[in-house]
Amino acid sequence: MEYKEDDFLLLSGIQHFAFCKRQWALIHIEQQWQENLRTIEGEILHEKTHDNTIKEKRGDLIVSRGMGIFSRSLGITGACDVVELHRASDGVKIFGRDGTYKPVPVEYKRGKPKEDESDALQLCAQALCLEEMLLCEIPEAFLFYGETKRRLKIILDDDLRGRVKTIFKEMHDLYDRRHTPKVKISKACKACSLTEICMPKLCKNPSVIGYIKKNLLEVEMEE
C-alpha cells in the first residue's frame, strides 16, 4: 500500500509517539504545542545542523544537511539533520555527483543517550525513507549527542524496522480517526512539555493524590 502525499505524517512525530501517544496526538492531531527549555535547546542545535547553506566535501565524503525525505509506503515526510555520502564502488548514484555513494544518516540530539529507543526509531525511519528514495540499503546509522559530543552507532536490524513500521501504522490509524488517547500518568509526565495542556486541572492542584481525592469526593457527594 502507498499513501498519498496529502496523508503524509511528520516523521519526527515518531519520537513524540514513543514518548507518549497522547502527547503525539495533542501536537499532531490537535495542533497544541508548548515550548519549554528542552524544546528550545533542541531547536537551536537543529538550526545549526539544518543550515542548508553548509555543504561539505572532504575527500571521498560529502556531507548533506537538511535533506528532505519521504516514504510513500510509510506515509511520512521529514528531513535528515545530516546525510553522509561515502564514496563506494557498491554505492548508488547521487544526482549531480560523479561516482557512487553509500548514504548514512546522522541525527543530532541535545543531551545524552536516552533510556528509551525514541531516537533510534526516528533514525531508523529516516533510513527507511532514504532506502526507498535512493533504492539502496542502509544497515547502520548514527546518533550524535550534544552533551557527550559522541556518536552512537545504531544497527538497523529487522526488529527495529518492524517496530517503526508498526508505529507509523498506528499513528495513521489514530490520525484518520482524529483520536487522542486518554491520559495515562507515567514517569514521562514529569519531563513532558505539554503537561498543562494535557492535564490542566491536575496542574492547579498540589498533588495527583489531592486531585484524585477531590474528584472522588465530588463524585461521592453527587451520588
Q: Which residues bind ligand SF4 (CB under 6 A)?
A: 20, 22-23, 26, 183-184, 188-189, 192, 194-195, 198-199
Q: Least distance in Å: CB of 20 to ligand SF4?
A: 3
C-alpha pair distances (Å), 173 with each of 166, 167, 213: 11, 10, 35
Residue number, 67 or 194, with CB nearest to ligand SF4? 194
CB nearer ligand SF4, residue 80 or residue 192: 192
Q: Which is nearer to ligand SF4, 116 or 140 (CB)?
A: 116
Nearest to 170 by CA among 181, 159, 160: 181
Give the DSSP H/E element, type plus range, for residue 168.
helix 158-177
Closest distance of CB 112 from ligand SF4, Å: 20
Question: Which lies closer to ligand SF4 via its Cβ, residue 164 or residue 189?
Answer: 189
Smallest separation (angstroms) from ligand SF4 to the CB of 198: 3
Give the residue with the Cβ less far from ligand SF4, 155 or 183: 183
Tell me the HSE value of 46 on the side-chain side, using a 13 A CA sphere. Answer: 13
Minimum separation from the CB atom of position 201 to ligand SF4 (A): 12
> Least distance to ligand SF4 from the beta carbon of 141, Å?
27
Least CB distance to ligand SF4 at residue 25 (A) = 8
Share of the chain residues as helix, strand and coil, in percent rounded to the nearest 5: 45, 25, 30
- 88 or 208, CB closer to ligand SF4? 208
Burial of 27 (0-12, 13-18, 19+ CB in 10 A): buried
With contact defined as beta carbons under 8 Å apart, do 61 and 86 qualify?
Answer: yes
CA–CA gap between residue 31 and residue 25 (Å, rounded) = 8
CA distance 23 to 186: 12
For residue 150, the number of C-alpha atoms closer than 13 Å in the C-beta half-sphere is 6
